[in-house]
Structures are given as structure tokens and as C-alpha cells.
Amino acid sequence: MPFYRCLIPKDSLTYEQREEIAVAFTDVHCGLSTAPRSFVQVAFLETDGSGEVADSHGSGVLRYDTPYFIAGGNRAGRSEDTKRLILGGLIGKFSEIAGVPADMVSGRITEAPASWTMEAGRILPEPGAEADWLEEPAAAA
Amino acid sequence: MVTFEFFVQEGCVPEESRARIVADIESVCAEVLGAEAGPVSVSWTVIRKGFGFRGGEPSTTSLVRSRIPDGHGSDVRAQFLRSIAETWCNLTGATEDEVIVSARDWSWAG
């Protein structure tokens, strides 16, 4: 985590744009949180225009009505301000790099408890506790 | 009921290994969560080469996201996550760092 899925029209982004967006998303997320860069997963999925995608961190589906949609999934526990800043930052960077107006991009971030995910063989830390987690030997987890 | 969404990078999980992965994961569900967990449903999403990134670099990481019945304690959930990760690594050849496994309660709205 986090896991950011970018739902995009077919053939709308070049590899260079996708890579630049992935780096920008990592910068945004890690700039506003204490997550290490290796936590940030970004996937681009070309859609058929159905306007909905299964929620990766909650239940049901996320619906959207813009050509581009960011379906984010994060660890729970951050402030509403931080969550708003992250999503706003992602949409802004996506719009800038993709070269599309910001109103063509929307997004939603849902969350699940950190303790419900295992990465590299260990239960994830709560937001803000990453430094201790990274220093722990794997066997201690 | 237990549902799984497998997000895999293109070329990292051979098509011919998928049936065995599903069968072994069904066994893990029964062993760790009990028969009362019910049937297992699986969906696969293949992330095309050049479409998946981790830390801004091309990714080889798979995400195994599941929903399980409510009511399991942290020890059982941790055992479940560990068993799924081990099964995944054994059958795909992925390293421990190349699989992220999660299990959220069925009623969790996000």
C-alpha cells in the first residue's frame, strides 16, 4: 500500500507519461506522509468506459463519470486534511502530465487498517510508524 | 464467502500455474479460516508490461487482495496472510518482497 489504479482510455498515455505519473504519485504520497517510496504501487488499466471499478480497499464498486479516474487504496489513520491533499495532489499531477484538463480527472481513496495487510512478510505499520518498521529485523515481525 | 482479487504484472505468473494457485489458496482458506468461511471466489487482473510501477520503477510485485468473513482475530488474520504469501511465493517463484497480501473484513466499507 498505497495502491493507486489509474483508469484510463485505451492508448491515451505513452509509456513516458505513465512512468512520469508513477514517479509523481510517489513524490506526492511520500511528500505528504512518512511512507517509504517502495510502498507506492501505481497501475494503469485501460478501460472500456464502463464507469465503475471494484473497490480494492472497501466493498462494492467505485463509480465515476470522467474519462480518467484514480482509484486509490491506502492505510487508514491519516487526517482528513492529509487525505484531501494527497488526492488533490494526485489529480493535479495526473492532469499536468497527461495534458488533460483537471475536470477530466477524478478520484477517490478508500482505506483499510494497516494491520490487515502483509508486505515483505510483515504486517504493515500504522501511518507514521514506518521508520521503526523499516529498522526492525524481518524475523521480529 | 472469501473473495480474492489478484493483481499481477504481465509475465510474472504463468497462465498454467493459476489453477494450482487457486486450488492451494482454497486449501489455505479452509485450513486457517475453517470450512464455515464458505466458498472461494477469485478474479485476476493482469497489469500489462509498462503499466505497473512500484516506487516509480517498473514493478514485478503482485497484490493479493481478499475479503474474509468478519470476526477473525489478529492472530488468525496474520496466519492467513502469511500462509497465502508463502503459497504464492512457492507457486510463482516470487520473492517475499514481491507479494503484498491483504484480508479485509467482509463488512468493511472502506
pLDDT band at residue B35 using 50, 70 and 90 as cut-offs = confident
Is A133 in the B-facing interface, judged by CB distances under 8 Å?
no
The one-letter amino acid code at A39 reads F
| Rounded-to-integer distance, Cα B62 and Cα B60, Å | 7
Is B51 in the A-facing interface, judged by CB distances under 8 Å?
yes
Per-residue pLDDT tens digits for B36-52: 899 999 999 999 999 99
Q: Are strands B62-68 and B2-9 parallel, antiparallel or unpaired?
A: antiparallel
Per-residue pLDDT tens digits for B84-106: 999 999 999 999 999 999 999 99
pLDDT band at residue A140 using 50, 70 and 90 as cut-offs = very low
Where is pLDDT greater, at A141 or A79? A79
Are A106 and A64 within 8 A, CB to CB?
yes
Which residues in chain B are contacts of A26 at CB distance < 8 A? 53, 55-56
| Rounded-to-integer distance, Cα A115 and Cα B78, Å | 8
Per-residue pLDDT tens digits for B8-34: 999 999 999 999 999 999 999 999 999
A91: number of CA atoms within 13 Å, CB side?
20
Per-residue pLDDT tens digits for A26-75: 999 999 999 999 999 999 999 987 799 999 999 999 999 999 999 999 99
What global pTM score does this model have?
0.96
Which residues in chain A are contacts of B67 at CB distance < 8 A? 59
Kindly state the helix (H) or strand (E) to which residue B6 belongs, with its residue range. Answer: strand B2-9
Q: Say which residues have a Cβ less than 8 Å from residue B52's Cβ, sequence separation at least 6.
A: A41, A42, A43, A44, B9, B10, B58, B59, B61
Minimum CA–CA partner of B81 in chain A = A118
Are B110 and A44 in contact (CB < 8 Å)?
no
Among B45, B63, B77, beta carbon nearest to A41: B63
Backbone torsion region of residue A51, taken as left when φ is above 0, otherwise alpha when ψ lies between -120 and 50, otherwise beta: left
